[in-house]
Amino acid sequence: MYLKPRPIRRKRGLPVRRLFGILLLSLMLGGAYYTLQNRDTVLPMVEQLVSTLSSNVNDTVSTIAAPTPTATEDPSRDVRLAEAAWDSGSYQEAVRLYRGVIAALPNNVRAHYFLTLGLMMQGQIDEAVQAAEDTVTANPFSSDAWAIRAMALNRAGRYADSIVSAYRALELDPQSARAKAFLAESYMDNGQPARAATELEQALTDNPDNPEANYVQGLYEWEVNLRHPRPQPRQRPDFVPIGGVGVAQQRQQRGGRDLPAALHHRQPRGHLLSL
């Protein structure tokens, strides 16, 4: 028996996908028309949204690319070791340690000061002058920085520059016995002993126990009053904790001469420097 197939009936209406597409297109056209009609209000909002999204992306990329921070070593241990080495007379070791302190604390004037002085004590005058310049750079408003620069320039034979630097130190601190002592030393080496004596007397009046003033006083007594041969500044003896007396005694031991009792009797208290 033959069965006649039923005809396929097509559903009326539009397919769902096409209907969704038309709806989406209508929304887009409507949004474009609204934006066009209200562009003065809408465009700033769109620009702000784009800027925010861009900033978030940049922050995310920077966070991903940034290296993991490493802990910074505390320099206080090196500071203590450097001071201990200096106090024990291990100046070469102190210089090495102070270099490390300065690498961690580049504006620490005290560390710069002792590094400069330590280099001078080891005869490294050119390096000491550069270290003194770095001391001033670390804090150009420090009287001590300009004072140690004056001393380093004196050791380099640059007396006029040394005098200028000492006066700059006194501008910053008119009561600085240290600056007055180094000014006196440069006047003495520049052939102006009377001015040297005036500055030295004022330094010792301001601070009778100042180590630098006592050191220069010892040099003055030995080289000017006692008329012993004056060495070149680069060959000056090292600083010693008891100031002028110690310097003169050191020279006595090297020269094999008797030291007159009238040389100098002050002995400053404390450590070598009063920083």
The residue among 82 and 68 whose pLDDT is bigger is 82
Instruction: Specify whether 99 is located in the same domain as 211.
Output: no
Question: Where does the pLDDT of residue 255 fall: very low under 50, low under 70, confident under 90, or very high at 90 and above?
Answer: very low
Q: What is the pLDDT of residues 36-63, one digit of tens each?
A: 666 666 567 666 765 666 666 555 545 5
Q: Is residue 108 one of the residues assigned to a domain?
A: yes
pLDDT greater than 80 at residue 72: no
Q: Which CATH number is 126's domain given? A: 1.25.40.10
Instruction: Specify whether 133 is located in the same domain as 182.
Output: no
Q: What is the mean pLDDT of residues 244-249?
A: 42
Q: Is residue 249 one of the residues assigned to a domain?
A: yes
pLDDT greater than 50 at residue 247: no
The Cα 256–Cα 33 span in angstroms is: 107
Question: Where does the pLDDT of residue 228 fall: very low under 50, low under 70, confident under 90, or very high at 90 and above?
Answer: low
- C-alpha radius of gyration, the chain, whole number: 39
Instruction: Specify whether 95 is located in the same domain as 166.
Output: no
Instruction: Specify whether 100 is located in the same domain as 208.
Output: no
Q: Which CATH number is 202's domain given? A: 1.25.40
pLDDT score of 169: 97
pLDDT score of 34: 64
pLDDT greater than 50 at residue 241: no
| Burial class (CB within 10 angstroms; exposed 0-12, middle 13-18, buried 19+) of 163 | buried
Whole-structure pTM value: 0.63
Q: What is the pLDDT of residues 201-215, one digit of tens each?
A: 999 999 998 888 888
Q: How many distinct structural domains can be found in the chain?
A: 2
Domain that holds residue 269: 157-275
Q: Is residue 106 one of the residues assigned to a domain?
A: yes
DSSP H helical ranges for 207-242: 211-220
Q: What is the pLDDT of residues 145-167, one digit of tens each?
A: 999 999 999 999 999 999 999 99
Instruction: Specify whether 269 is located in the same domain as 223.
Output: yes
Q: What is the DSSP letter of 270?
A: S
Instruction: Specify whether 113 is located in the same domain as 168.
Output: no
The Cα 266–Cα 215 span in angstroms is: 10
Q: What is the mean pLDDT of residues 156-179?
A: 96
Q: Is residue 269 one of the residues assigned to a domain?
A: yes
Share of the chain above pLDDT 90, in %: 43
The residue among 128 and 20 whose pLDDT is bigger is 128
Instruction: Specify whether 167 is located in the same domain as 271.
Output: yes
The Cα 189–Cα 45 span in angstroms is: 76
Q: Are 150 and 182 within 8 A, CB to CB?
A: yes
Q: Is residue 161 one of the residues assigned to a domain?
A: yes
pLDDT score of 236: 58
Q: What is the pLDDT of residues 96-125, one digit of tens each?
A: 999 999 999 999 999 999 999 999 988 899
Q: What is the pLDDT of residues 120-147, one digit of tens each?
A: 988 899 999 999 999 999 999 999 999 9
The Cα 179–Cα 200 span in angstroms is: 10
CB contact burial 111-138 (16+ within 10 A = b; e otherwise): bbbbbbbbbbbeeebebbbebbbbbbeb
Instruction: Specify whether 119 is located in the same domain as 223.
Output: no
The Cα 206–Cα 149 span in angstroms is: 21
